[in-house]
Every structure is written in structure tokens, then in C-alpha cells.
Amino acid sequence: MFVTMKYFPALVLLMLIAVALMGQQPGAQTNRRDEDDVVRITTNLVQVDAVVIDKDGKRVTDLKPGEVQIFEDERQQRITNFSYIPGMNSLPAVIPTAARSSPGPPAALKPDQVRRTIAIVVDDLGLSWQSTQLVRRALQKFVDEQMQPGDLAAIIRTSGGIGALQQFTSDKRQLSAAIDHVKWYMSGRATGGAFAPLGTENLPNLPAEAQAAYDDLEQFRQELFTVGTLGAINYVVRGLQQLPGRKSVILISDGIQELNHIDMDRQKTMMNPSTLPNVRDRVLDAMQRLTDAASRASVVIYTIDARGLQSLQLTAADRVTSDHPDALAGLGRQQLDKRAGDFRDAQDGLNYLAAETGGFFVHNTNDLGLGIRRVLEDQNGYYLIGYRPDESTFDPRTGRRKFHHLSMKVTRPGKYTVRMRNGFFGVASASASAAAATPRDQIISALTSPFGSSGLHLQLTSLFGNDARTGSFMRSILHVDANDLTFTKGEDGWHQTTFDVVAVTFGDNGNVVDEVSRTDTFRVSDEGFPEVLKHGFLYFVVLPIKKPGAYQLRTVLRDHDSQRLGAASQFVEIPDLKKDRLALSGLMLHAVNKPAVQTSRQAPEPEAGEAVRQFRNGMLMRYGFVIYNARLDKSTRQPQLQVQARLFRNGQAVFTGKVQNFALNNPPDLSRLAADGAISLGADLIPGEYILQVIVNDLLADEKHRTASQWLDFEIVK
């Protein structure tokens, strides 16, 4: 990776570095959303959230404190805090096509703009091949039709490693890239279909004792996968703790059979988890840890059976043989009964997980997209109820992490269903997680948060390009507001500041692809210092990309003296040029003022460049890019390309340029054609955020691969 810094705009080149990358109070308050509207567990207050549904399936929103009872370990508690937190105003279930026509992503969400935070966890450790195909279609439907402005979402695989927290985004391109990696996990606990065909379960010619040992081993294997799945969900839930609002996790799986035994083992919850003797007990402990984490993070877990509606009778794949005229007599009937029992047990496990964490279980439906929609509609208000625990809840003398069970009863006449998280460990939240105090912890927190950190103002621009010798690369420009840094003036009259820079590239599964971490000192002369304070400076990163795919580049800059941090990120798609298909590089923007009288020299505007991209009405905005793999006419060896530019604001097209023929200008490499254009920013364009889209059509290519487009966001300022 090559890193450079320079004055902005291009006053002095400061350094060139080559680095090889490694690796409430009582009473109902219905309109408040402040720091009290948070689930918390402390030695002075236990606060839980709950949803109440009446017998007709409608949400109950008008309960009074005297109509609710809270129980901890079956002992009634005195309610001290009670309020109903309403959901946001409902948005249309499907965004109109016109509102989704913009080529680029929405603007990055700020914490106070998040309407819903949704983590869809795909249990590919437990999905059959058949279910995997249904899940992929449902996920794409969620992204294309059900995801709405204000949604912060992630699609996470239980086998995908620890990169889950980097995937929360409002960018549909990034979510679609994650869906592409949802595949059947061949070594998981599921088969190719919803269940194994009859007659194939047992090993042939195996003695009874050996068969029993094989069955025990298979049970052990299944329970280990269950612990792994619960651990992955726990990791996601803990990461959600720092995100705003009431959060939801949607687990899509073929079932978790081993959870159906937990309710019978409640007496084991008094044990020290370190003494739990076997895998079944570790499943219980993992479930309790997950319930506790969900309580502290205000996360509701919903579950969806990916198998849909299944017939549990004989299928063409079953191999049942019998001398009896009734083919289901004897062993065949036993096998069918076992199939039905295992199917229900797996559903019971998913139902148990949802019930323990305040959600519900979606099952016996082949429309998984409808199941996701039901979950999204459920995020519309909840009760926030608190009580003061007695000393036995938190036992500082023995340090025992006792798990406490919670329940709630509605005393108003009628039949009601209460959904809430059903327990927590007796450990105060303040001691459950340490604050990010060290510089390393602060940087990691800024890297993993979808909102980054705004103590320092940064702007990141990452562009794809390709060189004939070195291959594909990502060129990133980090603009730094120098006013946010601490400068000291030395005896030589130069001003300097020292900061840490961390740049991490994540793949589309959230795992780290490359990273660099370094400490730099920026020095500027006394004469150039005012210009640096006015315009900031640029930090360049050129990163070779070995494989095509979708990438996130996340950067954090930390000022040594003030310890303030700034973070920025961008999603970049690297095409596979080896497929010989039409592709475009990233767009480079700059602009100049349009003088009344045209002259041979026009001075560029500092902020109206590729890094900051802030333009004013009356400017001429120029753009440049490279066209890769254009088809050539066999006789003339010339391309036949058409280029068009469009501007979007708030998802709506505000300008559509004319389709123009591409003019070839004797390029040295016909597979890499430099192109450019310009747009006059007229007075009718109101200030705000815009997207420039450039579309190239190759008239010589087949229809499927004829069009390529690229976009870049910019801003018009007063």
C-alpha cells in the first residue's frame, strides 16, 4: 500500500510511504426518547421491555402501572418505572420503484436517524441445500422491497467469522453482496433437504452397540453446532448493544433441536457454569448467556423455520422395505414417527429461543419474505418497566453468576400474551463490559461502529482502477480537517501534529482482508499553516486488490494530544476484468468557476475536487473515468460506445444528459479508454446532496453485458 499526505490543495508533497499490508420515572410518558428509554440492569434498577398482545392479536398500548405485575424468580417485584415507548410512524411496506431508482446508496445514517436496527442471522451451519435457495430469495426480497429509509441492517452467517459488526449498513449493494455468500454449508448439521430420506439413517451392517455409539457421536456433533450457533448470535447481540433504539435479530434456520430439552433442566441454572459437565449443559449455559446479553442490549430475537411447510409422509426418496402388504408397518412406521418427532423438536428449539428473548417464531410457511415482513411490522412500540432488585439478585460476596428468571402478568380482565426477555445473570451492566478506555479499544470501537466516530472530521473517497502491469487497485483519499487536530509550533517555526492512522479493508463477509496501522507526524511551515487550517490536507492510500469482489475500507484517525477520533468508511465493488466484460473505473470529479469571459486558464476550486466534492451553482463540474474491456469492431478495430450522465437528488432524477458517442483519441491501450465529460451546475439545482451517474453502452457487446455504470456522490453548497 502506498500512503501519501499533502496540503490541500496540492501546496507541498509532504511524504511518500510504502507499506506492505499484513494481513423514567413512574407514570406513562409516551413521547420521550432520551437516555432513560434504555433497557438496563444495575444493582439499583432492573429495566425490561415487553410487548402485550390481546386475544385478537392486536397490540395493547394503554396499560397502567397497576395493571401489570413483574416477577423475578416467581417473586413479585414493586414496579418503580413504567412507560410505553411508541414506535416510529409507519412507512409504506414497499418503497415505490421511483424512489429506488437512484444508482447510489442513501446518505450514511446518523444515530438519531435510525428507525430500525435489524440483524438477519442466517444459520448456514444448520440450513439444508433446499432451504438455502429459499432463504437467498427471501433476503433479496427484503433488500429490494422491504428495507426502508432509516433502516440499519446486516446479513450475517453463523459460519462467517467475527466480521459481523462491520456489516451494519443502509447500503443495499453491501447487503446484496452479503447475500451472494449465503451458501449451503456442506459440513453443517443439515442435509440436502428438509430431512434425510428414510432407510438411509443407519450405517449398513453395524452391530447394535456400534450403532448406539454412532448415534451418541451424532448427537454430540449436533449439540456442538447448536453451541456454535448460539455463540454466533450472542456475538451479534453484544455488538448491537452500542447501536440505537430497540433492536431485532432474525434467526433463519432449519431448527435447533437441542434447545427443546432446556426447559426440563431449569434446576441446573443454579449451578456454576464452569462446573457444567457435558455438552447439553453447555447448550443451556449458552442459551442463558444469550438471553442475558439480549436483555442488556435491548434486543428481541425472532426465529424463522427456513424449511417452510413440509409433508412428513413418505416421499420418492424414502427407501422403506417390508414383507407386509402395508409398507408402513414395523420399521417404516417407526421411522416416519421419528421424522415427525425430530421435525417438531427442531421447531420447538426455535420457538423456545424466540420466546425466551421476547420475539416470536415464524413457521409452516413457504413465504419466508412474508415472515420477515411480520417481524418488521412488530417493531412498533413496547412497554419499558423497571423495578429495584433486592440484595439477593446481585451477590457480591460469593460472586456467583446466578441466572434470574423474569415473567410478567397482566391483571386487566381478558386474555393477553406477553412477550419479553425471560432472564438475566445477577451481574450489573457496569461490570459486564469494560469501557473502551485504551487508545486501541477506542480505535477498535470506531472501526466496528456503523456510525464511526465524529470527534475529527474526515471524508473518505475510494475509487476502483486497474493498471496493465499491477492489476486492480483501490485508490483512497482521506481529507482531514486540520482544525480538529492539535498543532504545536517548534523552535524552527514549523507547526506539527502527531496522529495514529488505521486503515482496514473488510471483505463482503465482514472479515479483515488487509490492514495497516501507523503513527504519522504532519509538519507545515508557518507560511503554509493558515492555508492548511482553511482547506485541510489529504492522506492517500493506494491498495492493490488481488481478488474481485465487494470491499469496505474503514479508516480511523486519532489525534495524539487530544485523543479525539474520526472515522470514515466506503463500500467499493471491484469487477472481475478477466471475464472480458465492460466495466468502469471510479469517477474523478473536479470543478472550476465559469468566468464571464472564457480564458485559457481557469483556477480549480479547493473544495470542488475529488476528495471533498463540494460545488456551487454556476460551476462547471468535470468528471473523468476509464472504460475497460470495450468490444472492438473486427474490421475497423474501433469501439462503438455511447455515454450518458444523470444527476439524482433524494432518489429522483433531476438531470438526464444527452446520449453521446464516445470519441476515440488514439489511446495506447484499447482495453483501457480514458473518458471525460462536464455538467454545468445551474441555478435551479438547490443546495444539498446529489449523485452523479455515468452510463456507458457498448453497442458491440451482447445485450446482457452491454451496459456498465458508475456513480459518485457530491454536494452543492451555497
Question: For position 277, what pLDDT does the model report?
Answer: 47
pLDDT in tens, 481-495: 999 999 999 888 999
Q: Give domain status of residue 182, yes or no.
A: yes
CATH number of the domain enclosing 663: 2.70.50.60
Q: Is the peptide bond before 106 cis (omega within 30 degrees of 0)?
A: no
Name the domain boundary from 309, 342, 376: 376
CB atoms within 10 A of CB 381: 16
Distance between CA 572 and CA 282 in Å, rounded?
41
Selected residue with higher pLDDT from 250 and 455: 250
- What nine digits make up the cell of 452? 464511526
Q: Give domain status of residue 433, yes or no.
A: no
pLDDT in tens, 542-583: 878 888 888 888 889 999 999 889 888 888 888 999 899 999
Helices vs strands, H then E, count in the chain: 9, 33
175-189, 384-398, 582-596, range with the lowest pLDDT:
175-189
Band of the pLDDT at 261, cuts 50, 70, 90? low
Q: Share the mean pLDDT of the chain.
A: 76
Question: For position 218, what pLDDT does the model report?
Answer: 55
Band of the pLDDT at 322, cuts 50, 70, 90? low
Tell me whether residue 591 is exposed, middle or buried, using C-beta atoms within 10 angstroms of its C-beta: 0 to 12, 13 to 18, 19 or more: buried
Shared-domain flag, residues 178 and 296: yes
pLDDT in tens, 266-319: 444 444 444 444 555 677 777 788 888 888 888 889 999 988 766 555 554 555
Band of the pLDDT at 2, cuts 50, 70, 90? very low
Band of the pLDDT at 63, cuts 50, 70, 90? very high
Band of the pLDDT at 533, cuts 50, 70, 90? very high
pLDDT for residue 642 is more than 90? yes
pLDDT in tens, 431-479: 444 444 677 777 877 777 766 667 888 888 888 899 888 888 888 888 8
Shared-domain flag, residues 180 and 312: yes
Sign for the CA dihedral angle at 268, 269, 271, 274 comes to positive
Shared-domain flag, residues 549 and 629: no
Distance between CA 137 and CA 193 in Å, rounded?
17
What letter would DSSP give residue 278?
Answer: S
Question: For position 657, what pLDDT does the model report?
Answer: 92
Distance between CA 503 and CA 133 in Å, rounded?
35
pLDDT for residue 180 is more than 70? yes
Shared-domain flag, residues 490 and 512: yes
Q: Are 709 and 582 in contact (CB under 8 A)?
A: no
Question: For position 639, what pLDDT does the model report?
Answer: 93
Question: For position 99, what pLDDT does the model report?
Answer: 38
> Averaged over 330-357, what is the pLDDT?
73
pLDDT in tens, 394-424: 876 655 678 889 999 999 999 999 998 888 8
Q: Give domain status of residue 442, yes or no.
A: no
Return the closest-CA partner of residue 586 out of 714, 466, 698. Answer: 466
The one-letter amino acid at 541:
V
Shared-domain flag, residues 610 and 694: yes
Domain that holds residue 632: 579-718
Question: For position 13, what pLDDT does the model report?
Answer: 27
β pairing state of 488-489 and 495-507: antiparallel
Q: Give domain status of residue 494, yes or no.
A: yes
Name the domain boundary from 520, 551, 574: 574
Selected residue with higher pLDDT from 62 and 400: 62
**Rounded to whole angstroms, what are the CA distances from 686 to 100, 468, 677?**
21, 41, 22
pLDDT for residue 604 is more than 90? no
pLDDT for residue 174 is more than 70? yes
Q: Are 281 and 268 in contact (CB under 8 A)?
A: yes
Most confident of 159-163, 607-611, 615-619: 615-619
CATH number of the domain enclosing 154: 3.40.50.410
19-23, 138-142, 240-244, 477-481, range with the lowest pLDDT:
19-23
> Averaged over 150-163, what is the pLDDT?
74
Distance between CA 341 and CA 335 in Å, rounded?
10
- What nine digits make up the cell of 454? 465524529
Shared-domain flag, residues 330 and 407: no
152-156, 257-261, 325-329, range with the lowest pLDDT:
325-329
DSSP string of 301-337? EEEEETT-S---S--TT-----SSSSTTTTHHHHHHH
Tell me whether residue 113 is exposed, middle or buried, using C-beta atoms within 10 angstroms of its C-beta: 0 to 12, 13 to 18, 19 or more: middle
pLDDT for residue 618 is more than 70? yes
Shared-domain flag, residues 362 and 276: yes
648-652's contacts with Cβ under 8 Å and 24+ in sequence apart are: 648/101, 648/102, 648/103, 648/104, 648/690, 648/691, 648/693, 649/685, 649/686, 649/688, 649/689, 649/690, 649/691, 650/688, 651/98, 651/99, 651/100, 651/101, 651/102, 652/98, 652/99, 652/101, 652/102
pLDDT for residue 392 is more than 50? yes
> Averaged over 204-217, what is the pLDDT?
57
The one-letter amino acid at 461:
T
CB atoms within 10 A of CB 423: 22
Distance between CA 427 and CA 349 in Å, rounded?
27
Q: Give domain status of residue 99, yes or no.
A: no
Question: For position 280, what pLDDT does the model report?
Answer: 57
Band of the pLDDT at 247, cuts 50, 70, 90? confident
> Averaged over 166-190, what is the pLDDT?
74
CB atoms within 10 A of CB 434: 9
Name the domain boundary from 528, 546, 574: 574
What letter would DSSP give residue 271?
Answer: S
> Averaged over 249-274, what is the pLDDT?
60
> What are the φ and ψ backbone dihedral angles of 373, each rounded to 5 degrees?
-65, -40
Band of the pLDDT at 585, cuts 50, 70, 90? very high
Shared-domain flag, residues 331 and 192: yes
> What is the helix (H) or strand (E) element at residue 543, kind and residue range?
strand 537-544
What letter would DSSP give residue 362?
Answer: E
pLDDT for residue 68 is more than 90? yes
Q: Give domain status of residue 302, yes or no.
A: yes
Q: Are 163 and 130 in contact (CB under 8 A)?
A: no
Distance between CA 577 and CA 434 in Å, rounded?
46
Shared-domain flag, residues 589 and 570: no
Question: For position 418, what pLDDT does the model report?
Answer: 93
Shared-domain flag, residues 698 and 718: yes
pLDDT for residue 540 is more than 60? yes
Q: Are 537 and 483 in contact (CB under 8 A)?
A: no
Band of the pLDDT at 110, cuts 50, 70, 90? confident
pLDDT for residue 503 is more than 70? yes
Tell the residue number behind the cell numbers 408397518, with chain if given: 329
Distance between CA 166 and CA 173 in Å, rounded?
14
> What are the φ and ψ backbone dihedral angles of 611, each rounded to 5 degrees?
-90, -55
Selected residue with higher pLDDT from 650 and 210: 650
Residues 6+ apart with CB under 8 A from 157: 121, 122, 124, 181, 182, 509
8-12, 13-17, 365-369, 450-454, range with the lowest pLDDT:
13-17
- Give me the count of residues in the chain: 718
Tell the residue number behind the cell numbers 433463519, with chain if given: 252
89-103, 346-360, 680-694, range with the lowest pLDDT:
89-103
- What nine digits make up the cell of 312? 412428513
Distance between CA 696 and CA 698 in Å, rounded?
7
Q: Maximum distance among all alpha carbons in the chain?
A: 103
pTM of model > 0.75: no
Distance between CA 633 and CA 664 in Å, rounded?
13
Question: For position 77, what pLDDT does the model report?
Answer: 94
CATH number of the domain enclosing 462: 2.60.40.2550
> Averaged over 99-120, what is the pLDDT?
68
Question: For position 317, what pLDDT does the model report?
Answer: 52
Q: Give domain status of residue 29, yes or no.
A: no
Question: For position 399, what pLDDT does the model report?
Answer: 54
pLDDT for residue 596 is more than 90? no
Our count of domains for the chain comes to 4
Q: Give domain status of residue 450, yes or no.
A: no
Half-sphere exposure of 375 (CA within 13 A, CB side): 33
Residues 6+ apart with CB under 8 A from 359: 248, 300, 301, 302, 303, 375, 378, 419
Shared-domain flag, residues 599 and 646: yes
Shared-domain flag, residues 136 and 194: yes
